[in-house]
C-alpha cells in the first residue's frame, strides 16, 4: 500500500507547473511525444502565449486520436455485431461460430488496451474512469446475477470481500501504467507474470491444483525476461521509471488477485458463481477507487469547464461505455472460447492477441520498435511467451497422463 501511495504521489507531483494546470497525460504524437509512447507534459518554456499554443496543439492531436479510435471501434465492433446477427439468423456452421468467438475475444482484448490508454490520455482521470467501468459492470451483471448475490452463502461472501481490494488496486495501477508507458512495454512487463505466479501457486495451491513445471516452461520464462531487459535497454532514456513501477505493481496485484480468487473458488468460496464474484469484485472495488479519485482531485478536475467538455463529448461517452462492455465481454467470451477450443489453441490465441496489442500501440500511439535492439527484445519476449504457453500445456498433459497411469497401476494391484 505504501508503494502504491508513493507512486501516485510521484505521478500527481508532475501535474502542475507554475499557475498552469498540467494534466497527467497530455502528449503529442509527433513533436511532444516520448519515444516510448508515454506522456510528456507540455509545459510553458517561454512566453505564456507560446505555452498556450503548445497546449492547444497537443489537445488537437489528442482529439484527433480519440476520433480515430472511435471510428476503429465503430467499424470493428459494428462488423462483428453484424456477423453475429448473420450467424444467429442463418444458423451458420459450428466452425463459423467458433471462428467468430475467437475474433470477438481477440477484438475485445485489443480494444480494451487501446480504449483504456486512449481514455486515460484524453481524460486524465485514471481512478474515475476505472470507477465508471466498475459501475457499468455491476449494472450489466446485476440483471442476470442480482438474485444469486442475495441467495449466496453469507459466510462465503464475507470471506470473498478481501478480493475487491486487490481487484481495485489491479485496475487502478493498470490505468496509471497506461498513462506513463507504452502499450508495448506494458505488454512485455505483463509477460513476466509467470515469474511470480508459478512459485506462488506451487507454495499456496493444493498439490492437485499446482501448475506443471518443465525445462521448457522455465526456458520460456527466461526468454521473456531477457526480451524485457533487452527492449528496456534499447529505450532506457525514454522510459518512465514511475510508469514501470506502476506496471510492476500491477503485475504483483494481478498475480495476488488471481491466486487469491483461484484459492477461494476451489476451497472456501466454491459455492459462489462467476456472476456473484464479478458483482462483488466491481461493487466492492468501486469504494476505494472513487475514494482515490476524490482524494487526488479527479472529480474536481473533471468538473472544470474545459475537462467537463471532454467528458460530455458524445463519442467519448460511447467509448467509455464501450470500454466497460469490452471488459465484461473479455471474461464472458473467454469462458465460451475455452469451452469451444482446446487449451493449447486458447493459449496460442492469447499470444496472438499480444502481437495485435503491440501492433495497435505502434499504429495509434507510436510505440518505439524501430531500432534493432527494440525489435530483438520484442521478438524474444513474444517468442518466449509462445514457448511458455505451449510448454505449460504439454507439461500439464504429461502430468495428467502420469497421474492416470499411477491410478491405473493402483487399481490393478487392488
User: How far is residue 194 CA from its own chain's centroid?
Assistant: 16
pLDDT for res 412: 53
Give residues with Cβ within 8 angstroms of 158, minimum separation 6: none
For residue 267, the model assigns a pLDDT of 78
Which residue is it, cell 501492433? 359
* Distance between CA atoms of residues 13 and 24, nearest Å: 9
Q: Which residues of 228-247 are buried (b: 16+ CB within 10 A; e: fewer)?
A: bebbbebbeebbbebbbbbb
Q: How many CB atoms lie within 10 A of CB 391?
A: 21
E-strand spans in 155-227? none
In degrees and rounded to multiples of 5, residue 23 shows phi and psi of: -75, 160
76-111 core/surface letters (b: 16 or more CB in 10 A; e: else): bbeeeeebeeebeeeeeeeeebbebbbbbbbbbbbb
H helix or E strand, kind and range, residue 20: strand 20-21
pLDDT value for 410: 54
Q: What is the grid cell recorded at 283?
A: 461493487
**Residue 21, beta-bridge partner list:** 16
Find out whether 373 and 231 touch, Cβ atoms under 8 Å: yes
Q: For helices 48-90 and 343-365, what crossing angle results, to 10°?
A: 150
Q: What DSSP letter does each residue of 32-94 carry, written as one string? A: T--TTS--------S-HHHHHHHHHHHHHHHHHHHHHHHHHHHHHHHHHHHHHHHHHHHT--H
The CA distance from 387 to 252, in Å, is 22
Q: Which residues of 322-350 are buried (b: 16+ CB within 10 A; e: fewer)?
A: bbbbbbbbbebbbeebeeebeeeebbbbb
Q: What is the bridge-based pairing of β-strands 16-17 and 20-21?
A: antiparallel
pLDDT along the chain (414 residues), means of 10: 48 38 37 43 45 58 78 88 86 81 87 89 90 89 84 88 90 90 86 79 69 79 86 77 90 85 80 84 91 93 91 89 85 73 68 83 80 84 82 71 61 52
Q: pTM here?
A: 0.73
Q: Which pLDDT belongs to residue 37?
A: 44
Amino acid at each position: 500500500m505504501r508503494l502504491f501511495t508513493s507512486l501516485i504521489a510521484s505521478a500527481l507531483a508532475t501535474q502542475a507547473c507554475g499557475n498552469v494546470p498540467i494534466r497527467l497525460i497530455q502528449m503529442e504524437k509527433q513533436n511532444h511525444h516520448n519515444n516510448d509512447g508515454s506522456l510528456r507534459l507540455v509545459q510553458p518554456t517561454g512566453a505564456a502565449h507560446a505555452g498556450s499554443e503548445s497546449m492547444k496543439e497537443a489537445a488537437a492531436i489528442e482529439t484527433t486520436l480519440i476520433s480515430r479510435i472511435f471510428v476503429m471501434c465503430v467499424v470493428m465492433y459494428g462488423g462483428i455485431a453484424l456477423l453475429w446477427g448473420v450467424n444467429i439468423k442463418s444458423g451458420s456452421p459450428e466452425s463459423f461460430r467458433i471462428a467468430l468467438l475467437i475474433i470477438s475475444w481477440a477484438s475485445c482484448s485489443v480494444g480494451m488496451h487501446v480504449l483504456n490508454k486512449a481514455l486515460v490520455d484524453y481524460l486524465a482521470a485514471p481512478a474515475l474512469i476505472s470507477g465508471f467501468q466498475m459501475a457499468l459492470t455491476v449494472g450489466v451483471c446485476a440483471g442476470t446475477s442480482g438474485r444469486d448475490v442475495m441467495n449466496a452463502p453469507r459466510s462465503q461472501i464475507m470471506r470473498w470481500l478481501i478480493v475487491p481490494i486487490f481487484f481495485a488496486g489491479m485496475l487502478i495501477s493498470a490505468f496509471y501504467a497506461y498513462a506513463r508507458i507504452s502499450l508495448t512495454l506494458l505488454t512485455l512487463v505483463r509477460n513476466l507474470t509467470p515469474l511470480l505466479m508459478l512459485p506462488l501457486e506451487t507454495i499456496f495451491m493444493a498439490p492437485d491444483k499446482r501448475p506443471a513445471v518443465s525445462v521448457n516452461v522455465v526456458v520460456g520464462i527466461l526468454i521473456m525476461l531477457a526480451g524485457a531487459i533487452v527492449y528496456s535497454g534499447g529505450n532506457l532514456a525514454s522510459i518512465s521509471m514511475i510508469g514501470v513501477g506502476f506496471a510492476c505493481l500491477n503485475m504483483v496485484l494481478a498475480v495476488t488477485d488471481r491466486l487469491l480468487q483461484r484459492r477461494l473458488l476451489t476451497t472456501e468460496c466454491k459455492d459462489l458463481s462467476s456472476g456473484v464474484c464479478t458483482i462483488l469484485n466491481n461493487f466492492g472495488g468501486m469504494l476505494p477507487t472513487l475514494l482515490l479519485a476524490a482524494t487526488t482531485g479527479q472529480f474536481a478536475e473533471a468538473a472544470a469547464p474545459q475537462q467537463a467538455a471532454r467528458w460530455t463529448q458524445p463519442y467519448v461517452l460511447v467509448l467509455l461505455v464501450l470500454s466497460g462492455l469490452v471488459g465484461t465481454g473479455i471474461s464472458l467470451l473467454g469462458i465460451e472460447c475455452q469451452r469451444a477450443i482446446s487449451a493449447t489453441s486458447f493459449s496460442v490465441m492469447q499470444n496472438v492477441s499480444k502481437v495485435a496489442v503491440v501492433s495497435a500501440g505502434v499504429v495509434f500511439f507510436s510505440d518505439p520498435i524501430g531500432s534493432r535492439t527494440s525489435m530483438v527484445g520484442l521478438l524474444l519476449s513474444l517468442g518466449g511467451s509462445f514457448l511458455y504457453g505451449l510448454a505449460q500445456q504439454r507439461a500439464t498433459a504429461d502430468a495428467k497422463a502420469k497421474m492416470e497411469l499411477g491410478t491405473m497401476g493402483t487399481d490393478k494391484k487392488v
